[in-house]
Amino acid sequence: MIPEEDLSRLRQAIDFVQVASEYTALKKQGQRWVGLCPFHSEKTPSFSINAQEKLYHCFGCQASGDVITFIRELEHLDFVSAVERLAQKAGIHISYEEDADFALVRKERKSLLDLMTRAAEWYHENLLSHPQAGLARDYLRSRGYDGTLVRRFKLGWALDSWDGLVKALNIDADLLVKARLGFVNKTGRLQDSFRSRIMFPIFDISGQPIAFGGRSLPNQNTNALGGISKYKNSAESSLYSKKKVLYGLNWAKNAIVRQDLAVVCEGYTDVMGFYTAGVENSVATCGTALGEEHIKVLSGFAHKIVLAYDSDTAGQSAIERFYEWEKKYSLDISVAVLPPGQDPGSLAAKDPQTLSLAVKNSEPFLLFRLKRVFEKYNLSTAEGRAKAARAGLSLIDQYPDPIVKDLYLMQIADMSQLDPNVLRSQISTKGQNFSNSHTFLKKRPVLTTAKPTTALPMVELIALRIAINRPEEVMDLEEFLFSNELTHACYIALASHQDIHAAIGDSDPEVSKLLSKLAVEDDKGETGREIIARLVERAVLKELSKFEMKARRSNSLSVDMVAEFSWLKLSLEKIRQDDYSQDLLKSLLQWLHKFNSN
């Protein structure tokens, strides 16, 4: 953990306007800085910065946060890396305060990362210049991988030796095993995990090597004789989890964000192939199927995902899972249709244009599956068309959205030259009702639960804005003056934290969002005193009507009650005429306080 002191020191030292200016041009407008939003594309500026508090908010896409969030989101960094990057810019030293266990974990992680970097470097140097790597270099050249590509992807070569890496790095056995770079064999000797393989370092999102994929050379592929397998990946470690890591994301992330589209392929060489074909936004799963964790990671970068698997693999993927992910992560998943038997890696060498066109003309996943099903039948006969239609119907039946389903039903009708109504009747006999709009409504995802800000009481919003920018003016604010759940929560957040950063960091997303938004709103010059008076007036009016009801219900009004009642009425009148003292406001607040605590 980074101590709060260091964070606030960093926030003080950093010039947010300067940092943000590296991403968008900013202009001063009143006390704010405004510009085109770096988080979404727009033509008129809706992005605004509060330079003093170092907070931003976009009135277009609702992106908001502080200078750390800004760097995190734009550079796709974790919290610590973002802080480190800013600290470097500001020339500030950040200390880590942590318990002993955590310090140990962190220290070990650093040692492992250092080790991986050294290993990647060693393998890479081997490939570039070791006499033993001649065959590997020839092979790569024959596949069209030149020196530039080899350097960009930092390919390497694991020597044909039991302990080449072990000896070269001269590293503590325990660490080497933890990094999955070596293991202790049955005779108790430390031995390399990879031998005689082309090495593909797998990097984490910030570009640090965390694992390796090793590919044997074709003439060594002697698996049938009990030899080595074609591909071998690092075993999972504390650095590397294959169900989360996507190969190439470190290079592709910016292109993915720019195009709002990620291409997912199966192997390291596919990613390299796409890159040479000019498709820079591709990533690969590492020796495992595309799973929800991968999807979750990708959904942080883009809304569109194009699968670039060979047709068979893509054709077997389960519709329900993809459908579920599309809904859950607001994604569109489609398929790049590659010529049969071709993988992106080999296609890139032969016909890069076809490869990039396949991505451009990708088909929605369900349509792709439907077409593959139809290919299996002889559509020149009535029986063949009927069978194909039936298979198609059972396929789209897995799709839960009735409207989409019906659109595909029309497609099936078209492809099989059958009457859509006949097909519909086929479906409804299975207990499915396509035209049931009620089900449709029920299954529609809820787009947003946030209440629109316009519906929030303006005077409460102004009070919060003053509390953020000029807290000394609204010392008298009380929580019962906030009638709205959200503004009330914002007030509590501000009142119970040292500063707005702590309040934002500690609150529900809805509260944080509103606070950041208020922090960059234009100050219209209302004074705290005015606003409190208006809040008090409103609260007294409300209580007064309750008070009146109570008075009416009781048969005899006490002298005290009558006096109280007339005092309130008189006070309200004074506020309305703008003829009130600070003392009067204080007394009314006290009265409200008493009234509210009863």
Stretch that binds Zn ion, among 59-67, 91-99, 371-379, 555-563 (CB under 5 A): 59-67
Distance CA 573, CA 575 (A): 5
Is residue 61 a contact point for Zn ion (CB under 5 A)?
Answer: yes
Q: Is the dihedral of CA 340, 255, 147, 114 positive or negative?
A: negative
CA gap 179, 235 in Å, rounded: 9
- Residue 61 or 135 having the CB closest to Zn ion: 61
What is the SS3 assignment for 186-249? CCCCEEECCCCEEEEEEECCCCCEEEEEEECCHHHCCHHHCCCCCEEECCCCCCCCCCCCEECH
Cβ-based nearer residue to Zn ion, 37 or 119: 37
In terms of CB distance, is 37 or 493 closer to Zn ion? 37
Q: Give the residue with the Cβ less far from Zn ion, 40 or 497.
A: 40
Q: Interface with Zn ion by CB under 5 A: which range of 37-45, 69-77, 136-144, 176-184?
A: 37-45
Contact range with Zn ion by CB under 5 A, out of 29-37, 330-338, 443-451, 588-596: 29-37
Q: Is 262 in the site for Zn ion (CB under 5 A)?
A: no
Report the alpha-carbon distance of residue 380 to residue 389 in Å, rounded. 13
The Cα 195–Cα 165 span in angstroms is 9
Q: What's the CA gap between 530 and 146, in Å, rounded?
A: 72
Question: Residue 283 is encoded by which pair of tokens?
Answer: 């990533």
Segment holding 27, helix H or strand E: strand 26-29
Q: In what order do the strands lie in the sheet with 209-215?
A: 156-158, 197-203, 209-215, 231-233
Provide the minimum distance between the beta carbon of 7 and Zn ion in the complex, in angstroms, as a whole number: 25
* Contact with Zn ion (CB under 5 A) among 10, 11, 32, 39: 39
**Is 194 a binder of Zn ion (CB under 5 A)?**
no
Question: How far apart are alpha carbons 581 and 533 in whole angstroms?
Answer: 10
CA distances from 69 to 16, 20, 360 (A): 11, 12, 33
The residue count for binding Zn ion (CB under 5 A) is 7
Q: Binding of Zn ion at residue 500 (CB under 5 A)?
A: no
Stretch binding Zn ion (CB under 5 A), from 7-15, 61-69, 214-222, 386-394: 61-69
Paired with 332 in beta bridges are 304
Nearest to Zn ion of 448, 598 (CB atom): 448
SS3 500: helix
Work out whether 315 is an interface residue with Zn ion (CB under 5 A).
Answer: no
Question: Is there binding between residue 37 and Zn ion (CB under 5 A)?
Answer: yes
Cα 365 to chain center, whole Å? Answer: 22
* Closer to Zn ion by Cβ: residue 70 or 580: 70
Decide: is 302 part of the binding site for Zn ion (CB under 5 A).
no
Query: Whose Cβ is closer to Zn ion: residue 494's or residue 520's?
Result: 520
Q: Among 7, 20, 36, 58, which residue sits at the site for Zn ion (rule: CB under 5 A)?
A: 58
Q: Which stretch binds Zn ion (CB under 5 A): 30-38, 316-324, 470-478, 551-559?
A: 30-38
Q: Which lies closer to Zn ion via its Cβ, residue 46 or residue 221?
A: 46
Query: Does residue 60 touch Zn ion according to CB under 5 A?
Result: yes
What gap in Å lies between CA 33 and CA 55, rounded to an integer?
11
Nearer to Zn ion, 58 or 461 (CB): 58
Beta-bridge partners for 520: none
**Does 384 participate in binding Zn ion (rule CB under 5 A)?**
no
Of positions 9, 24, 40, 128, contacts Zn ion by CB under 5 A? 40
The answer to whether residues 180 and 112 touch, using CB atoms and an 8 Å cutoff, is no
Q: Does 36 interact with Zn ion (rule: CB under 5 A)? A: no
Q: Which is nearer to Zn ion, 39 or 580 (CB)?
A: 39
Chain contacts with Zn ion (rule: CB under 5 A): 37, 39-40, 58, 60-61, 63
